[in-house]
Amino acid sequence: MSESESEAMLPDGFPAGLRVFVVDEDSVALRMLQKMLLQCGYEVTTTDFPLQALELLRANIGNYDIVLIDANLTCMDGFELVENVCREISLPVIVLSTDSEFKNVMKGIKYGAIDYLVKPLRLEELKLIWKHAVKKYLNEMKNINESSSMDVNISHLTKKSKDLVRKRDAYDDIALKDNLTSQKRARVSWTPELHAKFINAVNQLGINKAVPIKILDIMDIPGLTRENVASHLQLNKNNRKIAPTQVHK
DNA sequence: CTCTTAATAT
DNA sequence: CATATTAAGA
């Protein structure tokens, strides 16, 4: 709260070197983006050829920390790309678009994106994206118990994570407030529609073969996990058992 | 390793 | 309350 001047200057300890991969069909916008990202002190790799984006990412696993994808593509469905990248590459993906429609934003998130930024982008927003990379990393560390499948990619962030935790207070004013779409994996909301798909899958399989993984497979909902389904399945079984009156409180 | 259940946590 | 996570046995 004591500093207010340096807007363009990067604060001490700002996570420079974040490796950002950007996909945008519009090469002009792409250039601007690149420029801004560079101003943030990030390492930037760009492509204006979305059809190759996934391939490039595949070929460079471990070389990037975060992915930015403009969803307004003409050569393919931008959200499909988002979904595929999220599925295949374990990196935080941020959707970019000029469309601020709630529905569209939801779509981006639903397809696995960790955030959705509406163009035109402000430097301020880009300065904050490193948080997603760190958060994703922290979550994975928490989830993955003993698995040794974490690669060198992480060591790049590890040091910074510690640093950032310590320095968090310094960034709080701007950082803590941008919680639009980040946070941990959102809990599943079993809307009637989603539940319907669940029921549908169960029926399709037959009550005996209706096992979490198969249900999940048939439902084909991005981001939905086996655990989500298992939990819901359990709930439904229980409900049937003790349908009516319940002794409680 | 996945499935199921119950218990407990968020 | 609704959903998630954990623990233990199959």
Indicate yes or no: strand C within 7 A of the C-beta of A141. Answer: no
Q: Hey, what are A140's tokens? A: 């994975």
Is A108 within 8 Å of A82 (Cβ atoms)? yes
For residue A202, say whether its CB is under 7 Å from any atom of strand B: no
Cβ(A21)–Cβ(A50) under 8 Å?
no
Q: Å between A136 CA and B4 C1'?
A: 30
Q: Straight-line distance from CA A249 to C1' C1, in Å? A: 14
Tell whether the model's pLDDT for residue A7 goes beyond 80.
no
pLDDT at A135 (0 to 100): 77
Residue A133 has pLDDT above 50, yes or no: yes
| Residues whose CB is less than 8 angstroms from the CB of residue A83 and which lie 6 or more positions away in sequence, other chains included | A111, A112, A222
> Tokens representing A130?
């490193």
Tell me the C-alpha distance between A157 and A174, whole Å.
21
pLDDT at A237 (0 to 100): 85
Average pLDDT of the residues of chain A = 76
What is the C-alpha to C-alpha distance for residues A160 and A155, in angstroms, rounded to an integer?
9
Helix (H), strand (E) at residue A23 = strand A19-23
Percent of chain A, pLDDT > 90? 39
Per-residue flag: A249 CB under 7 A of strand B: no
Contact between the CB of A216 and strand B at under 7 Å: no
pLDDT at residue A185, as a whole number: 57
pLDDT at A58: 92
Q: Please compute the mean of the pLDDT values over residues A11-16 and round it to a whole number.
A: 54
Q: Per residue in A34-64, pLDDT tens? A: 999 998 889 999 999 999 999 999 999 888 9
Mean pLDDT along residues A231-235: 94
Pair A116, A95: CB distance under 8 Å: yes
Query: Residue A96 pLDDT > 60, yes or no?
Result: yes
At residue A122, does pLDDT exceed 60? yes
In strand B, the nucleotides that come within 7 Å of a protein beta carbon are 2-7
pLDDT band at residue A218 under the 50/70/90 scheme: very high
CA of residue A202 to C1' of nucleotide B4, angstroms: 16
User: Greater confidence, A182 or A95?
Assistant: A95
d(CA A70, CA A95): 6
Q: How crowded is residue A146: how many other Cβ atoms within 10 Å of its Cβ?
A: 4
Work out the number of other CB atoms within 10 angstroms of the CB of residue A79: 21
Q: What is the dihedral of CA A86, A129, A168, A124, to 10 degrees?
A: -160
Tell me the CA–C1' distance in angstroms for A41 and B4: 51
Quickly give A11 CA vs B3 C1' distance in Å: 51
User: CB–CB of A55/A84 below 8 Å?
Assistant: no
A4-30: average pLDDT: 69
pLDDT mean over A21-39 = 93
Task: Answer whether any strand B atom is within 7 A of the Cβ of A118.
Answer: no
Residue with tokens 């118990």: A145
The listed range with the strongest mean pLDDT (A28-32, A132-136, A241-245) is A28-32
* Phi-psi domain of A201 (left: phi exceeds 0; alpha: psi -120 through 50; beta: other): alpha
